Structure 1
Amino acid sequence: MRFVISTLYALTAAVVTARISVISAPSTIAPGVPFTLTARTTNGLQTTYDVAIAFGLSPSPSHSHTLDTILNSFYLGPSKSNVVDNINFTVAIDAQTAKGVYVLGGASMGLYGVGNSPVLREWNVTVSVGKETGGEWMSSRG
């Protein structure tokens, strides 16, 4: 009996419980050209139903809790919740955006734990707007 209970507990613990932990983007972004943003996931302690994520661009320095100019928002739902794979999104900044330093922000709304408690999570990463998209990938802190 103890073996059965231990086995069931181990199987339950092995269920994937991942959450979005950081966002990453190229260090330089060209105005008007689509580029990829990545939401990186890590194992979590409780189940997560990620509902949606939105991305925005703010002049630097900016208040850390704002998205300012919205780049796009995406429904995540069951197919992109509790996955231990990176989730890629294609967005673009306005073609008229001036070159300079900006804060790229992301915010997601998810339902956490057995009670599906609503949680809003935020990330930001400093990027430059320049001639070509590329350079080192920059990540927010988790």
Structure 2
Amino acid sequence: MSAQIKNERNSYYKILEHTQKDDLDITEWIIWFLKCLKNAILSSNTIIDKVVKKHQFWVINAGKIRNERQQKMLNKLMDNFEGNLTTSKWAKITKSSQDTALRDITDLVNKGVLVKANSGGRSTHYELKL
């Protein structure tokens, strides 16, 4: 709930100020609070779904991961990775060489953990196989 209030803090302060200044009728505040609670529950469901999917992924693929770089990048991919996964991004994030990044990625593609996206050439990128 606190995370949801933080997300809606502008409206929280508005409704709080409004409630304190006027006739002290808290009906609007209760309505706001219930909407916020509903949003928090919906957000929680989304978060729980992501956690369950991540757990299922690791149960299935735990034995396929060879090193910490792979584990780090797979976790990043499951935690809202921005953009496409390329060997350059892999190398930069894991602080490894392009060759090491390519070996790590190729290993995961061969094991069915990652798939090569349809685009090719210089724009080659990879996606998590869920």
Same structural fold, with TM-score higher than 0.5 when normalized by the shorter chain? no
Greater share of helix: 2
Question: What is the TM-score when the length of structure 2 is the normalising length?
Answer: 0.30
* Larger relative contact order (CA 8 Å, sep ≥ 6): 1
Normalising by structure 1, what TM-score? 0.28
